[in-house]
Structure formats: C-alpha cells, structure tokens
Amino acid sequence: MSKHSVQIQREEHDSALLAKKVSVVKSVAGESFLGDTGINGGPVTVGTSEVEVTFTGTTKSVMIQADPDNTGSVWFGLTGVTNSGGNAFAQLEPGDAVTMGFDDSSNALYAISDTAAQNIFKMALT
C-alpha cells in the first residue's frame, strides 16, 4: 500500500495565459526555476516507455499538465506504470492537469503514454 495521498483535480487552463507565465521562467541546466521560491519544473517529453519525472530538491507537492496539443493519454505512477494505464494513479488527457502531495525522497514519479512524443509540464513545491 502506497503512503502517498493523491488528489486528482481536472482543470481547464488558458494556454495563452499559461504561456505568458512560463515566459518569465529562467532556465538553468535544463531545469526551470522561479527565483529562489522553492518552485521548480519544466517540460518533459513522454513516450511509450516509462520516463522518470525528476525535480530539484525534495518535493512536497507536484503539478503535472498534459500539453493541450497532445494526441494520446499520459499516465503517472510509481515504477512499473504501463502505457495502457496499469499501476497508474493518475491519467491525463490533452490539456488535463493533476496536483498532488508527493514526497519524492523515497519514491520516484514516472510517466508514460500510449503515443510517442507527448509533452507534459511539471512543477513542484520543494
């Protein structure tokens, strides 16, 4: 039994507004940061093989959004999540977002899709 609690929240996002907010984010060594606020994240490409979603620092809470231009589903879970949704604790369709309390110090978060070259955007409070 997992010790992580998950709260799935489907939200609609204004892509133009999100793009404006993301444009102020500085990028350092492939990881994006909003100053020294304890928030970090950035884009991740997900395909039909499991990909670890990494963050800088120990996470307290994470938000993942599927790119509205995606053509497939994206699933999240601990190691072993499959591209048909097996072992997943969240599924995102294009444009969907999930926010959850997640401490990655003892377990990694993984993403996978049923379609190659899908994009997600990650953000964590550390």
Q: What are phi and psi of 15, to 5 degrees?
A: -60, -40
Higher pLDDT, 29 or 60: 60
Q: What is the pLDDT of residues 87-105, one digit of tens each?
A: 999 999 999 999 999 888 8
- Checking if the pLDDT of 106 tops 70, the result is yes
Domain topology for 15-125: Jelly Rolls (2.60.120)
How many whole angstroms separate alpha carbon 61 and alpha carbon 53? 13
Q: What is the pLDDT of residues 64-94, one digit of tens each?
A: 999 999 999 999 999 999 999 999 999 999 9
Q: How far is residue 78 from each of residues 18, 34, 71, 91, 110, measured CA to CA in Å?
A: 28, 27, 23, 13, 6
pLDDT band at residue 63 under the 50/70/90 scheme = very high
* Amino acid making up residue 38: G
